[in-house]
Chains A and B, each alone.
Chain A
Amino acid sequence: MTRGYGNEKRNMNIKITYNWLLEYLQTDADPYEIQKYLSLCGPSIERVEKMDDDFVFDIEITSNRVDSASVFGIAQECAAILPTFGKKAILKINTLERYTFKEIHGDSARHDVELEIKILGDNLASRVSAVVLSNIEIGESPQFMKDRLAMCDTKSINNVVDISNYLMLALGQPNHTFDYDKIKDHTLSIRESKKGEKVKTLDEKVIELPGGDIVIEDGSGNLTDLAGIMGGYDSMVTSATKNVLLLLETYDPAKIRKTSMTTGQRTVAATYFEKGLDPQRIEPTLAYGVELLEKYCGGQIVSRVIDVYPKPVKPKIISVSVMNIETLIGAPIETATMREILENLGFSVTVHGGEIEVTVPSYRAADIEVWQDIAEEVARMYGYHNLKSIVQSTRSQNRNTAQENYDKYELRAKYFLKHAGLCEVYNYSMISKKMIEKFGFDPKDHLKLQNTISQNIEYMRIHLVPSLVENILQNKGKRDDLSFFEIAKTYKKRVGDLPEETRYLAIATNQSYSWLKGVLAGLFKELNIDEYSFGEVEKNDDICAFELDFEELIESARPIPSYRPINPYSVVKLDLTYTTDPKHLFENIKSKAFKVSPLLLSVDVISTFKNKVTLRFEFAAKDRNITEKEAKEELEKIKELV
């Protein structure tokens, strides 16, 4: 169960290998040291597994740090983090600077192949780049690539497809390779889909689109790619492919996520795109991709590099006071240390007295917005493990006394019921329409979930009894005595406002009505509630059930009973047996008895047998000893009532 705070479901896990990492990083840290130190200051390396001569890291990448979801990204984090633990770590090559369009776009290549790319619609894609390579020889990938992909849970297909996947893992930018000759008119248009349009993807599924999805069509209007999620079947690379189009894009993350979720196509590419990628990374990725395609597939560039990039990103600059950072972290940190930390992470820093001005690298632009974001970078590199642990002294504050009072009685009631032999249940707050109707309630009185995932949890409860009766039925036969209780909120619909959330207590049992009544009377006594009366009780299928507004009940509760002075005078006890019938209800006899007999102290039922009930009456006076004769006279008056 990994579900807690906020939105971590959007996080992703990647697998990379130690040897692959060493291509970018020179370090003396072993895989386990990397695991330990990175987890403390950066991405969490959840597992390290030795495989042959290599080690596989399983790394959790938080949704704001998709820039680090690659071998290169982890190498960058290593280069910043490991030295703070006394380990050597230097980036061997900075791929982001080393690979450029200019470099692959040498003069010797022929650039005569046609290719047109259009973005039809604002904000669908922030950047699209592409290039065509010819003379591709489809075959197997080199062994090292196959091994690495296998270790990172990626199946080897052929050299072109493998390079595409390898590229994504290396630099964190998904990309797609098309069979260039299958693209009609050599034109690709990126546009929004219409509702009901269909696209056949690489996995040979035909997907009907909900509309508003990003798709790519070729010159004939054929959908050739479900953008950011999966390539199209019709234009895929096969063993017969000769010419390859390598396409890289950065899409609107919200659109990708919506399409991926609604179509159920949760591909790795989608998990990257939906987090928002840095358009600046397209250039080095494309250039590195070309290098790999040339090296391992014999490809040659035959087109110019197409680069549609309408609004290039501008560097973001944030100013922050050194003191604010120190105050938030709670530790003194030298300005020089802050500077070093930030520079190691790729930020450029200028110091103006107590202020530092930070230029954010493009791949961190989406994540770094306020000065607290800068403070976080400093804090994590300084090391949370290096900070002290100090419980703050809490100043007097506005305590929620009503809540505290409620909690106190709720717990007391729960323990009482437990000791009386009941089992506490927790049911879902939502129930089915069927259940509501079964108990004679109207679904219209209930709040309804718009996007439930099951009919069993479609309406918010306004009563607890249906759930409890269901609990008894489902446990039938497992135990002889089944007695359950629940204290939970009910949600009463209100017009134009949030529902009234009121805590109810419900009890259901397969024991007798009198048992249930006894439990409730005991509970009221425990809560020192003297005055109460019983209303109706649900009874069907040999189940007794009952519910009440628990918050209202608590209002009458008292922490200890009210004290009554002990009567020092004699008490005379007399018993009376009578035959019960609808005209002679106990409650009536009892209340009348007190009216006719001023000396009556208490009435208790001491036994019942068939329709015979034996009562015990206690008589006493407040100011003197009474005689047995006096008591018998009182009893005579009462006898007339039964």
Chain B
Amino acid sequence: MSDIQEGTINALKKELTATSTSAQLDSLTSKYFSRKGILNDLFSKINSVPADEKQAYGKEMNTLKAQAETLIEKKRVELSKKPRKGTWVDPTLPGDTLPKGSLHFVTYAIEEITRIFERIGFSRASYPEVEWEYFSFESLNMPPGHPARDDFETFFIDEKSHSKYGRMVLTPHTSSGQIREMMRVGVPIAMINIAKTYRPNWDVSHTPMFHQFEGLCIDRGINITNLKGTIEYFMTSFFGEGRKMRLRPYHFQFTEPSFEVDVSCDICDGSGMIDSKTKCRLCKSGWLELGGAGMVHPNVLKEGGIDSEEYSGWAFGFGIERVFMMKQGLKLDDLRTVYENDVRFLEQF
């Protein structure tokens, strides 16, 4: 490297070190590269160079130009990364606040449950909440006089009775959709019915309105192992791996056999005890009741116009609020909170 080359590069380096703004860099660039700049000036000196050194001098100048360009470009990149002076921002400050709304937890639960059942070919249905007694009871093997039909278990509507279907009620369970689906679809059926349901209790552990989801599957050869398989699939999808399930014998009018489905408790890991002395507050001896299920009663199939000799089916009905709270390990001291719509409750979801 010649003295000229070295001297020029060193001078440039020195000046670059003193450069802290892009405006300064711009003027430095033009100092070296403009028409009357340092580099052109050096190039023009080629005329005074002896003929045999001209080629080497030209080469040297080109290298010098390339070096200078690289240095300036490097500095430009460096400067562009630096915030401009006077606009320095504390990077630890929070970003701009976006509007923060919320959805009710029942919405999230319904969304997830619908997706889980869609994956195994179930289609969501929606049926009347204000129903005739026939669909809510009679067709479900609950004849007149059955205790579930009396005034203490069901809301009745003050309207004229239907000549065939009886009184108007607020349906106390999603099961009223069973016969409606049989009438709409016939066989086979793979339905998930999610709806509001109503019962006349209003205290810390009951609200007069709540939500249920009902699965109904009817086809040839449907048996208990299918019910067990489907509920187990739902349970693993919804609660995650590692929870155990059991079916217990139970009784419902519209299924035979009937089961109660239990899931092992997440809080005490199915032991029923938090530690050696404290019992788990959430569960019963390590188990939480998920809800009811069973094989569709032949009388119900008959009402839905389905031949119970040829077809069989299973059904289940679980409470939405309940499964959501079980999933979250949530125990509300007062269930009424769910429908009181206090913004401090709502915005948490």
A residues with CB within 8 A of B: 1-11, 35, 39-42, 44-48, 62-65, 254, 257-258, 261, 274, 327-331, 367, 370, 372-373, 375-376, 379-380, 384-385, 387-392, 394-395, 397-400, 403-404, 407, 411, 414-415, 417-430, 447-454, 457, 460, 471, 474-475, 478-479, 482-484, 489, 491, 496, 498-499, 501
Contacts and interface: CB of A to CB of B under 8 A. Distances in A.
B170 A449 contact: yes
Given A390-B225, A391-B230, A254 B130 contact: no
A42 B209 contact: no
Given A4-B319, A451-B156, A64 B99 contact: no
Contact of B168 (A329, A379, A498): A498
19 contacts: A1-B206, A1-B319, A1-B335, A2-B289, A5-B175, A40-B248, A63-B147, A254-B145, A327-B312, A328-B224, A330-B223, A370-B299, A390-B228, A400-B126, A414-B107, A425-B346, A447-B168, A449-B158, A498-B131
Given A10-B148, A44-B260, A391-B229, A4 B317 contact: yes
A263 B152 CA distance: 12
Contact of A6 (B114, B230, B292): B292
A390 B170 CA distance: 35
Interface in B104-137: 104, 106-107, 111, 114, 120-126, 128-132
A379 B224 contact: yes
Interface of B: 98-104, 106-107, 111, 114, 120-126, 128-132, 142, 145-148, 150-153, 155-160, 162, 168, 170, 173, 175, 184-186, 188-190, 196, 198-202, 205-210, 212, 217, 219, 221-226, 228-230, 232-233, 246-254, 256-260, 284-285, 289, 291-293, 295, 297-299, 312, 316-319, 321-322, 325, 335, 338-339, 341-344, 346-347
Contacts of B207: 428
Contact of B101 (A35, A417, A478): A417
A424 B107 contact: yes
A452 B131 CA distance: 16
Contacts of A47: 284-285
A388 B322 contact: no
Given A4-B289, A394-B120, A380 B159 contact: no
A403 B125 CA distance: 6
A454 B205 CA distance: 17
User: Which of A2, A254, A420, A430 has most B Cβ within 10 Å?
Assistant: A2
A387 B155 CA distance: 39
Contacts of B101: 417-424, 483
B80 to A, nearest CB: 30
B285 A499 contact: no
B122 to A, nearest CB: 7
A8 B98 CA distance: 47
B192 to A, nearest CB: 10
A7 B148 contact: yes
B102 A3 contact: no
A398 B185 contact: yes
B223 A8 contact: no
Contact of A64 (B150, B152, B251, B285): B251
Contact of B322 (A1, A385, A498): A1
A389 B225 contact: yes
A44 B248 contact: yes
Nearest to A261: B152
A499 B157 CA distance: 11
Nearest to A387: B225
Contacts of B185: 397-398
User: Which of B147, B175, B189, B259 has most A Cβ within 10 Å?
Assistant: B147
A395 B202 CA distance: 42
A451 B168 CA distance: 12
Contact of B157 (A8, A62, A448): A448
A384 B228 contact: yes
Contacts of B297: 370, 372
Contact of A426 (B106, B175, B184): B106
A387 B150 contact: no
A475 B102 CA distance: 15
Contact of A496 (B99, B160, B249): B160
A395 B188 contact: yes
B103 A457 contact: no
Contacts of B209: 428-430
A5 B317 contact: yes
A424 B225 contact: no
A7 B297 CA distance: 15
A331 B292 CA distance: 22
A449 B129 contact: no
A391 B217 CA distance: 11
A331 B342 CA distance: 51
Contacts of B295: 328, 372
A491 B151 CA distance: 22
Nearest to B295: A328
B196 A489 contact: yes
A88 to B, nearest CB: 22
B298 to A, nearest CB: 6
Nearest to B196: A429
Contacts of A482: 343
Contacts of B347: 423, 479
Given A426-B104, A474-B341, A372 B260 contact: no
Given A1-B319, A491-B130, A392 B229 contact: yes
Contacts of B229: 388-392
B312 A328 contact: yes
A388 B338 CA distance: 38
A386 B162 CA distance: 46
Contacts of A65: 251
B346 A6 contact: no
Nearest to B326: A1
Given A9-B153, A448-B157, 11 more contacts: A1-B322, A4-B317, A11-B251, A42-B249, A44-B260, A328-B312, A388-B228, A391-B233, A424-B346, A451-B156, A454-B208
B155 A372 contact: no
A573 to B, nearest CB: 27
A491 to B, nearest CB: 6
Contacts of B210: 3
B285 A35 contact: yes
A257 B152 CA distance: 10
A-B pairs with lowest CB-CB distance, top 3 = A421-B99, A5-B292, A330-B223
Contacts of B147: 7, 10, 63, 254, 257, 274
Contacts of A449: 155-158, 170
Contacts of A331: 225
A96 B219 CA distance: 43
B257 A379 contact: yes
A453 B330 CA distance: 28
Contact of A7 (B107, B151, B252): B252
User: Which of A274, A394, A457, A491 has most B Cβ within 10 Å?
Assistant: A394
B189 to A, nearest CB: 7
A502 B122 CA distance: 24
Given A498-B128, A498-B132, A394 B249 contact: no
Contacts of B121: 394, 397
A460 B159 CA distance: 12
A580 to B, nearest CB: 28
Nearest to A420: B99
A387 B325 CA distance: 29
Contacts of B100: 421
B189 A46 contact: no
Nearest to B205: A1
B129 A475 contact: no
Contacts of A403: 123-126
Contact of B257 (A261, A375, A407): A375
A425 B341 contact: yes
B247 A392 contact: no
A491 B157 CA distance: 12
Given A41-B249, A404-B124, A498-B132, A453 B339 contact: no
Contacts of A407: 114, 124
